[in-house]
Amino acid sequence: MLTKLLSGDNPRSAVLTVLLLVIVISLAFAPFLFPGTKSLETAARICIFIVLVASYDLLLGYAGIVSFAHTMFFGLGAYGTALALSSTGPTYLSILWGTLAGAVIAAVFALAIGLFSLRVKAIFFAMVTLAVASAFAVLVSQMSWLTGGEDGLNYKIPRDLTPAFKLVKEKVFGVRINGKLLAYYLVFFSSAILFLVMLRIVNSPFGRTLQAVRDNAFRAEAIGYRVVWYRTSATVLSAVIAAFAGSLLAIWLRYTGPATTLSMEIMIDILLMVVIGGMGTLYGAILGATVFILAQTYLQELMGVAEEATSFIPFVSTLVAPERWLLWLGVLFILSVYFFPSGIVGRLRASRG
C-alpha cells in the first residue's frame, strides 16, 4: 500500500526515511505540535514550497533543463486565484476557476516558451526564460489596474477558511479548531496529493524517458524518442504544478503580490532549495524546502546573536549580520554544486552502502 502510494520509489536509506517521517509527521500535526501563528505560517510555507521545489526538480533534476521562469508560473497560479477571488467573490467556485485558469495560462506559456527555445539549445532556454520572467514581473507590477501593482492584491477567501469560523466550540488539545486550521489542512493535503502525483510521474515510463533524455539526448533521440516533445511536456507539467502551488499560496496568505510570488529572490530560493536538498530526487525537495525555510525563519535570529557577539570586530560583524544570510547560503550553494551535487538526499543514500 505504502509502496504503491510512493510509486515504488522508496527513500532507500534509513536516516532519510526517519528524517522524512519526522518532517511529514511534524507537518501533519503542526497545529497541535507547534501552536502559535508563526510556526503555522512556517509550516504552511514549507508545504507550499515542497510542491514548488519538487515541480522545479521535475524540470532541473529529471529533465536537466534550467529554467528561470518558475516563479512566473507560480505567480500565474497565485494571480489567477487572487483575481478570481477578488472579482467573483469569496466562493469555492471562484477558487476553482481561478486555479484552473491560472494553470491553463501557465501551461500555454510553458508550451510556447518550450517549443520556441528548447528546440535550439538547452542553454538558450535558461536565458530566454530569464528574460521572459523578468519582463513578466515588470509587466505585472506595471499593470496596477489589474494586479494592484507593487502593492499586490488583498481579497477575501471563503469564510470557512478564516479564523472567524469555528468548527468546534471547545479547544482540542488546547488548539482552537477554526477556519485557519481547515485552511492549513487544505494546503497540507493538496500539497501531499500534488507531491504523490509528481512521484507517480517521475517513476512512470515517461519519467524514465525524461531521465534518459537528460543523460544522453542524442541517444534517446536515436532510440526513437522525440526529445523536444519530452522536454516540452516536462516544462508544461512542472509549470502547471507550480501554478497549483501558487494557488495554494494565494489561498493561504489571502494576499498576492510581486514580492511573494514573482521576485527573482524567490527564484533563487527555489534554486538553493533544489540543490541543497538534492537534484533528481523528489525527496530532496522535502528536505531542501524544510531546511531552507527553517533556516530562513530561525537562522537569521541566530545570526543576529552572532552579530552582537562579534560587534567589537568591525568587519566580521557585518559579515554575520542577519541581512547577509544569503551570502552564506550562496557559498553553501556553490560548495554543494561542486562537492555533493546530489544534495542531502544523495549523501544519505550514498553513506548507506
Partner 1 sequence: MSETTIKPRIEAPPLLDRLKEKLPVFLVPILAIFGFAAIGDPSSWLTLTVAGLAMGLMIFIMASGLTVVFGLMDVINFGHGAFISVGAFVGFTILAWLSGWTASPNVMLNLAAVFLAVLVSMIATGLMGYAFERTIVMPVYGEHLKQILVTMGGLIVAQQLIYVFWGPDELHISRPQALQGSILVGDAAIEKYRLVAVGIGVALFLAMRHILKSTKIGLLVRAGVENGEMVEALGYKIRRLFLIVFMVGSALAGLGGVMWGLYQETITAHMGSEIMVLVFIVVIIGGLGSVEGCFIGALLVGLVANYTAFLAPKVSLISTIALMVVILMWRPQGLYPVVKAK
**Nearest residue to 195 (alpha-carbon basis) of 23, 51, 17:** 51
Query: ∠42-200-227 over CA atoms, to 5°?
Result: 110
> Segment 52-111, which members bind partner 1 (CB under 8 A)?
60, 64, 66
**Is position 299 an interface residue for partner 1 (rule: CB under 8 A)?**
no
Q: Which of 36, 145, 338, 353 binds partner 1 (CB under 8 A)?
A: 338
Q: Least distance (Å) from partner 1 to the CB of residue 167?
A: 44
E strands of 46-151, at which residues? none
Q: Which amino acid is at 201?
A: I
Considering the complex, state which of residue 105 and residue 130 has its C-beta at the smaller distance from partner 1: 130
Considering the complex, state which of residue 54 and residue 186 has its C-beta at the smaller distance from partner 1: 54
Considering the complex, state which of residue 100 and residue 126 has its C-beta at the smaller distance from partner 1: 126
Is the alpha carbon torsion for 122, 116, 77, 24 positive or negative?
A: negative
User: What x/- string results for residues 111 through 140 when contact with partner 1 is judged by CB under 8 A?
Assistant: -----xx-xxxxxx-xxx-xxx-xx--xx-
Contact by Cβ (8 Å): 335, 275: no
Contact range with partner 1 by CB under 8 A, out of 45-53, 149-157, 248-256, 335-343: 335-343
Count interface residues toward partner 1 (CB under 8 A).
40
Cα–Cα distances in Å, from 201 out to 52, 179, 287, 294? 15, 33, 20, 28
Q: Which of 87, 142, 154, 204 binds partner 1 (CB under 8 A)?
A: 142
**Nearest residue to 49 (alpha-carbon basis) of 248, 298, 307, 278:** 248
- With cell 518532517, the residue in question is 23
> Segment 177-236, which members bind partner 1 (CB under 8 A)?
none
Is the alpha carbon torsion for 212, 218, 220, 223 positive or negative?
A: negative
| Residues forming the site for partner 1 (CB under 8 A) | 60, 64, 66, 116-117, 119-124, 126-128, 130-132, 134-135, 138-139, 142, 264, 268, 271, 275, 318-319, 323-324, 326-327, 329-331, 333-334, 337-338, 341
